[in-house]
């Protein structure tokens, strides 16, 4: 069963996520000497990124042992407002005491297929494994769209689902551009999957994903993952959940 954390507002949601990351990073570094985290894009993670870029997280997180990847990326220039790396760079990466070779953006000016191969090689170098084996990220942060997508795995598109590849090129979403995404089999292997969802606009989709088993949406294919799946929700995003799923307010 996924772990459901519900906070009174978006600000508290960001705090809970930052605390979760700090705790998990310290635990991973204590156990393995490093932590691998994959970030998602969109607007929801940005308050968390900005929080992690300030005290106490600036000094409390083992950034020197942290390796940052992306769950998905729009294949646009870094300066484009749609760039997930560009947003994270501004909000978080430019402020961190982290070695630059620990930051692994997906964005690329090569063709989508070549960019997917390139990023796969970045991952095989770090994880010292090759497909069909799967990399095991310590944390993958995910959001959901109102259509039920996560990362850039869109309902009805099996490209990133029926595969042993680690990274694939897709097209879609908003903006409707070429993208790279980690595949579903990779997401399923993560030690921690952390969904971050905020706002009343997502409440219907949160209820569908968590309480309507027949819906067949990408996030539902992750709830049975080997690792710990956590849903960090603010009260607005959780407002349609019934009793047995509505966790205690954090």
Total residues contacting ligand 6PG by CB under 6 A comes to 14
Listed ranges 36-44, 111-119, 121-129, 209-217: which one lies at the site for ligand 6PG (CB under 6 A): 36-44
Among 7, 17, 20, 41, binds ligand 6PG (CB under 6 A): 41
* Residue 236 contacts ligand 6PG per CB under 6 A: no
Residue 33, sorted as left (phi over 0), alpha (psi -120 to 50) or beta, turns out to be: left
* Residue 155 contacts ligand 6PG per CB under 6 A: no
| Residue the block writes with tokens 């095991």 | 136
Q: How far is the CB of 143 from ligand 6PG (least distance, A)?
A: 2
* Residue 159 contacts ligand 6PG per CB under 6 A: no
How, if at all, do strands 72-74 and 177-182 pair? antiparallel
Listed ranges 25-33, 61-69, 141-149, 242-250: which one lies at the site for ligand 6PG (CB under 6 A): 141-149
Q: Which is nearer to ligand 6PG, 45 or 227 (CB)?
A: 45
* Residue 86 contacts ligand 6PG per CB under 6 A: no
Question: From the DSSP assignment, how many helices (H) and strands (E) are in the chain?
Answer: 7, 9
d(CA 96, CA 21): 15
User: Residue 129 carries which DSSP code?
Assistant: -
Q: Got the DSSP string for 156-196? A: T--TTTS-S-SEEEEEETTTTEEEEEE-HHHHHH-SEEEEE
Q: How far is the CB of 63 from ligand 6PG (least distance, A)?
A: 22
Q: How far is the CB of 180 from ligand 6PG (least distance, A)?
A: 10
d(CA 104, CA 163): 23
* Residue 112 contacts ligand 6PG per CB under 6 A: no
Asked if residues 232 and 139 have their Cβ atoms less than 8 Å apart, the reply is no
How many of the other CB atoms lie within 10 Å of CB of 242? 9
Among 143, 148, 172, 219, binds ligand 6PG (CB under 6 A): 143
| Residue the block writes with tokens 């600000």 | 11
* Residue 183 contacts ligand 6PG per CB under 6 A: no
Asked if residues 235 and 249 have their Cβ atoms less than 8 Å apart, the reply is yes
Q: How far is the CB of 175 from ligand 6PG (least distance, A)?
A: 9
Listed ranges 20-28, 57-65, 144-152, 204-212: which one lies at the site for ligand 6PG (CB under 6 A): 144-152
Q: Which is nearer to ligand 6PG, 65 or 240 (CB)?
A: 240
141 φ/ψ angles, rounded to the nearest 5 degrees:
-85, 135
* Residue 173 contacts ligand 6PG per CB under 6 A: yes
| Residue the block writes with tokens 């310290």 | 26
d(CA 173, CA 60): 36
Please give the residue ranges that form the binding site for ligand 6PG (CB under 6 A): 40-44, 72, 84, 143, 145, 149-152, 173
């Amino acid at each position: 069963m996924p772990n459901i954390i519900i906070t009174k507002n978006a600000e508290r949601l960001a705090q809970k996520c930052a605390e979760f990351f700090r705790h998990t990073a310290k635990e991973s570094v204590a156990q393995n000497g490093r932590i691998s985290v994959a970030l998602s894009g969109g607007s929801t993670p940005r308050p968390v990124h900005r929080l992690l870029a300030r005290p106490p997280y600036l000094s409390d997180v083992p950034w020197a042992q942290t390796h940052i990847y992306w769950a998905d990326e729009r294949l646009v220039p870094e300066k484009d407002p749609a760039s997930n790396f560009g947003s994270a760079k501004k909000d978080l990466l430019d402020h961190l005491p982290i070695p630059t070779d620990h930051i692994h953006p997906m964005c690329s000016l090569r063709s989508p297929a070549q960019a997917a191969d390139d990023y796969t090689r970045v991952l095989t170098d770090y994880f010292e494994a090759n497909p069909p084996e799967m990399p095991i990220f310590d944390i993958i942060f995910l959001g959901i769209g109102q259509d039920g997508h996560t990362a850039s795995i869109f309902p009805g598109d099996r490209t990133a689902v029926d595969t042993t590849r680690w990274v694939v090129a897709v097209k879609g979403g908003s903006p409707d551009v070429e993208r790279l995404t980690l595949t579903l089999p990779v997401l399923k292997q993560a030690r921690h999957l952390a969904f971050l969802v905020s706002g009343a606009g997502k409440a219907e989709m949160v209820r569908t994903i968590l309480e309507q088993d027949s819906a067949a949406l990408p996030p539902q294919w992750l709830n049975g993952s080997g690792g710990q799946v956590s849903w960090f929700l603010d009260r607005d995003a959780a407002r349609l959940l019934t009793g047995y799923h509505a966790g205690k307010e954090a």
